[in-house]
Amino acid sequence: MSGATINVAVVAKRLEGDVAFLDFSAMSGALPEFEAGAHIDVHLPGGLIRQYSLWNGPEDDKNNYRIAVRLDRQGRGGSAAVHKLEAGATLMISAPRNNFALLPAGFTVLIGGGIGITPLLSMAADLFRRGRNFRLHYIDRGARAAFVTMLEQAPFAESVRFHDTTGGRPSPVALLGDAGAEARIYLCGPAGFLADFRAAAKVLSVAPRGIHEESFVPASIAGDGAFTVVTARDGRRHHVAEGRSIVDVLRDAGYEISTSCEQGICGACATQVLAGIPLHQDVVLTDEEHDSNIVMTPCCSRSKTPELCLDL
């Protein structure tokens, strides 16, 4: 992990079902400004580093960063560690980064599945403040839907639609059907949720200007065999065995690689590819970036070709 960190304190915590809401405030000075859709790295006890979206609007409360984390008992420990934090605890976070920024649109459709609603809340607050036309769809099971009351009381409540999945999930085609050619669509949720909406977008009679998505599910690492990485700046060759990441191999060889999540979520390690074809396994680069094969995330992605040359 590289990059400056900020010392913060947990100034407020509350539980809503299985979701913990925490507010962070800087121990000294002011928190850096952020844009809607941004996330931070949270350095948790035990050495864990996890990424969480900021759900408050950029102009709502500049003294606090607010995150909301659903407890995942089958997860890798990050959500459990967050839930154990109490008001008064101190920890380190990164400055906000944004791989999910709002772009100009005549109409913006925000669709969040479960805890994937968090970055979209920040977007909705920002769009409302700027007088933009948008709709926010919140999809969750009624008993687990921790954001319903908050959204009912939000100043943009008239632009919100809640879909209780107790009786079944809403049709992706129905939710996207009236988007129109001037719309941009922002999706956040589990991988299957994103795939359903991507498929629905392909059959729309009028294609929107863009589909933008963010997943909170780490990329899986395929066991695809060994390959060689060439570091272009010194011409050295590095054997990457099956089961080892490019980042691990290069660090062992003495290279400094900027990383954060090491799961293909944050994009901190994105590196230019000079030759060879990457096997992309991240969830942060765009489809266009994947198709171009000129950038990759060496923390989790591998190689389709026997050799890969990186701008390192």
The tens digit of pLDDT for each residue in 173-219 reads 999 988 889 999 999 988 778 888 988 988 888 888 889 988 765 55
State the average pLDDT over residues 139-158.
94
Residue 131 domain-assigned (yes or no): yes
- Considering 161, 193, 215, which residue would you say is the last residue of a domain? 215
Q: Please tell me whether the overall predicted TM-score, pTM, comes out greater than 0.85 for this model.
A: no
| Dihedral, CA of residue 91, residue 97, residue 99 and residue 100, to nearest 10 | 80
Greatest Cα pair distance, the chain, in angstroms, is: 59
146 neighbors 17 (Cβ within 8 angstroms): yes
- Considering 31, 61, 94, which residue would you say is the last residue of a domain? 94
Beta-bridge mates of residue 271: 296
Spatial CA neighbour of 229 closest among 261, 264, 273, 267: 273
Q: How confident is the model at residue 2 (pLDDT cuts 50, 70, 90)?
A: very low
Is residue 295 domain-shared with residue 253, that is, in the same domain?
A: yes
CATH of the domain at 179: 3.40.50.80
Is residue 196 domain-shared with residue 233, that is, in the same domain?
A: no
- Considering 94, 121, 143, which residue would you say is the last residue of a domain? 94
Q: Is 133 helix (H, G, I), strand (E, B) or coil?
A: coil
Domain that residue 305 falls in: 227-310
pLDDT at 59 exceeding the cut of 60: yes
The tally of domains found in the chain comes to 3
Residue 156 domain-assigned (yes or no): yes
Summarised one tens digit per residue, pLDDT across range 84-101 is 999 999 999 999 999 899
Q: How confident is the model at residue 47 (pLDDT cuts 50, 70, 90)?
A: confident
Encoding tokens for residue 294? 């000129």
Is residue 190 domain-shared with residue 265, that is, in the same domain?
A: no
Residue 185 domain-assigned (yes or no): yes
Spatial CA neighbour of 41 closest among 84, 75, 2, 80: 2
Other beta carbons within 10 angstroms of residue 59's beta carbon come to 12
Question: CA 302 to CA 190: how far, in whole Å?
Answer: 23
Summarised one tens digit per residue, pLDDT across range 266-283 is 777 889 999 999 998 887
Is residue 295 domain-shared with residue 209, that is, in the same domain?
A: no
Residue 102 domain-assigned (yes or no): no
Side-chain-side CA neighbours of 225 within 13 Å: the count stands at 6
Residues 6+ apart with CB under 8 A from 227: 240, 302, 303, 305, 306, 307, 308
Is residue 79 domain-shared with residue 167, that is, in the same domain?
A: no
pLDDT confidence of residue 231? 96
Is residue 197 domain-shared with residue 118, that is, in the same domain?
A: yes
